[in-house]
Amino acid sequence: MIPVAAVENQTIAVLGLGRSGRATAAALREGGATVIAWDDSADTRAAAQAEGWTLSDLTRDKAWETRIDALITSPGIPHLYPAPHPAIAQALARGVPVDNDIGLFFRSFAAEGFDAFDTPPRVICVTGSNGKSTTTALIHHILQSAGRPTQMGGNIGTGVLSLGPPADGEVVVLELSSYQTDLARALTPDVAVFTNLSPDHLDRHNGMGGYFAAKRRLFAEGGPDRCVIGVDEAEGRYLANQLGQGPQDDRVIRVSVDAKLDGFGWAVSAKKGFLSEWRKGRQVASIDLRGMTGLPGAHNHQNACAAYAACRAVGLAPREIEAAFHDFAGLPHRSQTVATIGGVRWVNDSKATNVDAAEKALLAFDNIRWIAGGLAKEGGIAALVPHLGRVAKAYLIGHSARDFALQLGGTPHEVVDRMETAVARAAAEARPGDTVLLAPACASFDQYPNFEKRGEHFTALVRAIEAAQG
């Protein structure tokens, strides 16, 4: 646990008592604060009360009659758009500072013992629309493989205030969502990574401008020593331009899978499966990514470039990074190879919950037996039509199945509704060299509580086929 600094004898309200909320409350109490808490769920409140937390309905005026020095909110709770949560509206009306666990982490991370360390601990933060979880996990894996002390948390794994106190030379790697960067009052990473930007969470940020602004705060207000910026979208190019003092400023490391970047002070790019590092117009390293099963496709090559750049920024050598690439298994539900059965590759990309992520998954493979569908987002799958030549057949499940069938044109397809049927039909029809790809391009909430459960169901069905075939 990282105790929150500078809260002694203060009364701090905590809104939201999920995993991060309870960890935040504990870290505040450890720092000497009096904590009052609230959650909209009666079941969650009952569990928190059983653990000894003091509850007060922060949506009511009465809770604010005694002094509250700050309100700490969980990331899933709206603080501005589409409308502030009533408890946050109370704090805003009274001028009570609103923060989140990320802000508390950054103001509490540097402990008194840092001066005695030979190498001060550092923090790498990763944000973006797609690929940030894989990039975060890959950075952490590379650091571990190189023998560097490291912890991982934030939007992946452990809540930031549940991390252990940092050790000499340690690198803490955090995945940060736009919800987290939007509100944090302190953001001071040593290295900040921006993977890419595509439409997501637009209701929460009142459009693309607000969404990009939330991501940008990590860089513009965080003042990192090094910035790793994906420049394959206009927003990334704009961000890199704002942060640098010219093309040769190597405090900005540009990353691309679309363009050669040899005209900049520091850049990492991947073309046709080869990663290249360029410094001041000279290529200094190259890695063949094509045979790395944990990093299939151009989107994962972009993740590899970003992770490579971040690790180079904290002093790792190219050969250390390349060695770690080879044994990176990937993350569950993100282009995860579950099994190869009879020459057929089975890939779980349940995290492909939007069209942009599904497009990247389709571009990573050939001869695809595509399982798609669920609770569709606006626009359906029309944007994927140019890539359907890679699809041998689509198996459509869930609420959107029949709507998707109308958008597939001449691509062979079958409306099967359930995952069990889709997997069975794909298994019966696939031939050696095919890839059965779960990339739904949809939310899961029509049939599953989340994308993880959907991916776990797919994986269990594939494992049953594997076991049956011995």
Q: Which residues are annotated as part of the binding site? A: 128-134
Contacts of 92 (CB under 8 A, 6+ apart): 84, 98
Distance CA 415, CA 70 (A): 52
Do 332 and 452 touch, CB atoms closer than 8 A? Answer: yes
| Residue 331, both tokens | 């993350």
Query: Is omega for the bond preceding 82 within 30 degrees of 0, making it cis?
Result: yes
Q: Which amino acid is at 168?
A: D
Distance CA 397, CA 401 (A): 5
Q: Which of 20, 17, 30, 71 is nearest to 174 (CA)?
A: 20
The residue to which tokens 């609420």 are assigned: 399
Distance CA 335, CA 297 (A): 9
* Rounded CA Rg of the chain: 23
Which residues sit in the known binding site for ATP? 128-134
Q: CA torsion sign, 430 to 433 to 438 to 440?
A: negative
Q: Which of 377, 400, 358, 72 is nearest to 201 (CA)?
A: 377
The residue to which tokens 């069209």 are assigned: 355
Contacts of 452 (CB under 8 A, 6+ apart): 332, 333, 350
Query: Could you please report the per-residue DSSP string of 24-88?
Result: HHHHHHHTT-EEEEE-S-HHHHHHHHHTT-EE--TTSGGGGSS---EEEE-TTS-SSSS---HHH
Helix (H) or strand (E) holding 277: strand 274-279
User: Rounded to whole angstroms, what are the CA distances from 176 to 129, 135, 203?
Assistant: 10, 12, 19
Contacts of 185 (CB under 8 A, 6+ apart): 97, 99, 103, 107
Do 171 and 310 touch, CB atoms closer than 8 A? Answer: no
Do 398 and 373 touch, CB atoms closer than 8 A? Answer: yes
